[in-house]
Amino acid sequence: MKIMEVEGGNQLTGTIRISGAKNATVALIPAAILSDEESTICNIPEITDTKALCDILNLLNVEVKRASESIIINPQKMKNVEIKEEFSKKLRASYYFMGALLGKYKKAVMYFPGGCSIGARPIDLHLKGFEALGAKVTYDNNKYIVEAEELKGANIYLDIASVGATINIMLAAVKAKGKTIIDNAAKEPEIVNIATFLNNMGAKITGAGTSTIKIEGVEYLHKCFHEVIPDRIEAGTYIIMGALCGNSLKIDNVIPEHIDALLSKLEEIGADLEVGSDYVIVSKQNSYKSTTIKTAVYPGFATDMQQAFTVLLTQCSGKSKVVETIFENRFMHVAYLNELGANITIKNQTATIIGKTPLKATNVVATDLRAGAAMVAAALIATGKTTITNVEHILRGYEQIVEKLTSVGAKIAIKEI
């Protein structure tokens, strides 16, 4: 078992470079199998979710080569076999193989995906989308068989602007006959990144990044080169850490428009920010004002960002609120923040934070990926040494977190016990 130890109270100064976006990478890798030739994707983060997807590619007899930050995926000898449960449940994004295999072979066999336990996370909208394209879905004992004689373009309205359903339907529709229109599509930057990748291969997708995506089916997808966008959630996490204990901490390789909602909330509480074309410099301020945040689909305040932001709210004077509207179980970090000394209560889907409270080190748990990032942020300002268990969750989404934070002055280490 791995644990993380963080000695709090150190200033962070220097530069942290942001890696490729996890939530784009985890869709780009499955999307690559739709090509009939080799794809090269650069700026791939070295995180355990990437490794889990490469294991699925190996299972499907897809050739995978890693070279520095790039990945070369060649599906020419691929075989469409069942994705066994131990592979499907390793991560949420295994579900993108459903759309990609269906799009390529008109058949996908796999199990319910894994991922962070932050709510029920059904996949009904993905399946309804596949059915609208002409697929038949059979479910038995956690196993899904999705197959079609032919996939035909359709008009699909999503009841919720789901990131996963939007991408999965795009993957299934790129090679379908005719035109597919996804209405109330999610607009996250990762979706634009996936659509650009598919278009680079020869797909005909327009409207990605708006709530209506149009896909004209094509027969052949060719070789291409693509780059993963910078990770906006990783960037936001380190910017928040900078507001907590930074001294001119530079977060580099950022697309500031992707984190507009976070930057404006930081400005509202009184953070000291310099926002450049591809970087943000942040320093800790002695006092911050309280505020309310409400998570929302992009371009609203990201649900993946509220946990680390809650840590910052413990350092704001007065009463702050966090309203979580996307997932029903995304406050698991709160109990541990309270153990560190915060004063937070939860009622329904709202956390009320009374600040400012000093934090004192103790033993805490990374209950999921972003809750884990919040624990690291809190530990950086807590007096004493905080021990974080279930660190595996954090390593699923933050490339070289220990190395990055150590390079700017944090005292942090991972130990195997």
Note whether 301 binds ligand EPZ by CB under 6 A. no
Min separation Cβ 295 and ligand EPZ, Å: 9
The CB-of-184 to ligand EPZ minimum distance in angstroms stands at 11
Catalytic residue at 116?
yes
Whole-angstrom Cα distance, residue 253 to residue 230? 6
Residue of 121, 175, 284, 404 interacting with ligand EPZ (CB under 6 A): 121
Tell which one of 57, 83, 125, 249 touches ligand EPZ (CB under 6 A): 125
Q: In this complex, which beta carbon is closest to ligand EPZ, that of residue 110 or of residue 281?
A: 110
**Number of residue whose CB is nearest ligand EPZ:** 164
Of 57 and 361, which CB lies nearer to ligand EPZ in the complex structure? 57
- Of 114-122, 175-183, 200-208, 334-342, the window that binds ligand EPZ (rule: CB under 6 A) is 114-122
- CA nearest 243: which of 311, 344, 336? 311
**One residue of 18, 163, 282, 364 binding ligand EPZ per CB under 6 A:** 163
Binding status of residue 123 toward ligand EPZ by CB under 6 A: yes
Looking at the Cβ atoms of 361 and 394, the one nearer to ligand EPZ is 394
Using CB under 6 A as the criterion, what x/- string covers residues 51-90 for binding ligand EPZ? ----------------------------------------
Beta strands (DSSP E) in 97-203 are 107-111, 136-140, 143-147, 155-157, 179-183
**Which among 116, 224, 245, 316 is annotated as catalytic?**
116
Q: What letter does residue 228 receive in the DSSP assignment?
A: P
Please report, as residue ranges, which positions from 357 to 396 form the binding site for ligand EPZ (by CB under 6 A): 369-370
Nearest approach in angstroms of CB 14 to ligand EPZ is 26
Closest CA to 91 of 393, 400, 384: 393
Is residue 137 a contact point for ligand EPZ (CB under 6 A)?
Answer: no
Site string for ligand EPZ, 228-267 (x = CB under 6 A): ----------------------------------------
Contact 60, 33 (CB under 8 A): yes
- Select the residue interacting with ligand EPZ from 303, 314, 315, 390 (CB under 6 A): 303
Q: Give 125 or 359: the residue with its C-beta nearer to ligand EPZ.
A: 125
Q: Are 110 and 125 in contact, with CB atoms under 8 Å apart? A: no
Which one of residues 45, 164, 230, 236 is an interface residue with ligand EPZ (CB under 6 A)? Answer: 164
Residue 255 to residue 139: CA distance in whole angstroms: 41
Which helix H or strand E contains 199, and what residues bound it?
A: helix 189-200
- Show contacts with ligand EPZ in window 202-231 (CB under 6 A): none
3-state secondary structure of 179: strand
Which of 104, 121 has the CB closer to ligand EPZ?
A: 121
Three-class secondary structure of residue 355 per DSSP: strand
CB of 307 to ligand EPZ, least distance (A): 9
Q: Is 182 in the site for ligand EPZ (CB under 6 A)?
A: no
Cis ω for the linkage preceding 299 (within 30 of 0): yes
Buried b (16+ CB within 10 A) or exposed e, 225-254: ebbbbbbbbbbbbbbbbbbbbbeebbbbbb
Closest CA to 22 of 230, 292, 218, 249: 230
CA atoms in the 13 A half-sphere facing the CB of 9: 9
Q: Give the rounded distance of the alpha carbon of 321 from its chain centre.
A: 23
List the structure tokens of 173.
């529709």
The label of the residue with tokens 């150190």 reads 10
Q: Return the range that interacts with ligand EPZ (CB under 6 A); candidates 140-148, 155-163, 217-225, 378-386.
A: 155-163
Phi and psi angles of residue 351, each rounded to the nearest 5 degrees, phi first: -105, 135
The candidate with the shortest Cα–Cα distance to 15, out of 409, 328, 370, 347, is: 409
* 3-state SS, residue 50: helix
CB closer to ligand EPZ out of 227 and 304: 304
Residues noted as catalytic? 116
Q: Which residues bind ligand EPZ (CB under 6 A)?
A: 23, 26, 92-93, 116, 119, 121-126, 160, 162-165, 186, 303-304, 326-327, 369-370, 397
